[in-house]
Amino acid sequence: MKHKILVIHGPNLNMLGKREPEKYGTSTLDEINTLLTTHGSRTGIDVQTFQSNHEGSIVEKIQQARDVYNALIINPAAYTHTSIAIRDAVLLLDIPVVEIHLSNIYKRESFRHKSMLCDVVTGQIAGFGMYGYLMALDAIVNILQ
């Protein structure tokens, strides 16, 4: 059986490459998604991606993941620091979940140092830019095997 992994990108990530490239790099979200799906194919993983600027849409996608996917990679972006709703949705899952951030949130403004998800996810990767997504995917593959 081929494993299915969902990757959720939160608000403003659709603007990657244009928004603060000194913090987030010059890669676009399409480039990151292509990198993920290509890497997934090489490792026998079906990677599906989803992006929304809306908290409720992200919550609904997480809820739908429960019976469809074997793992979740999520970059909640700004919702990292504020969303109890996303945290509660993640708590519904009984699959591995990796929280990912392009920048190191602990080297930024103090309000970004708190993650609402860090204690309910399998692991967290921050500060490696787009390659953090590949690290998360490799970690998930390792966990699933």
**Two structure tokens written together for 37:** 């799906």
Among the listed residues 9, 24, 69, 79, the single catalytic one is 24
CA angle 84, 73, 48 (to 5 degrees): 120
Active site residue 54: no
Contact predicate 137/36, CB 8 Å: yes
Angle, CA of 60, 93 and 61, to the nearest 5°:
20
Assess whether 79 carries a catalytic annotation: no
Catalytic residues: 24, 101
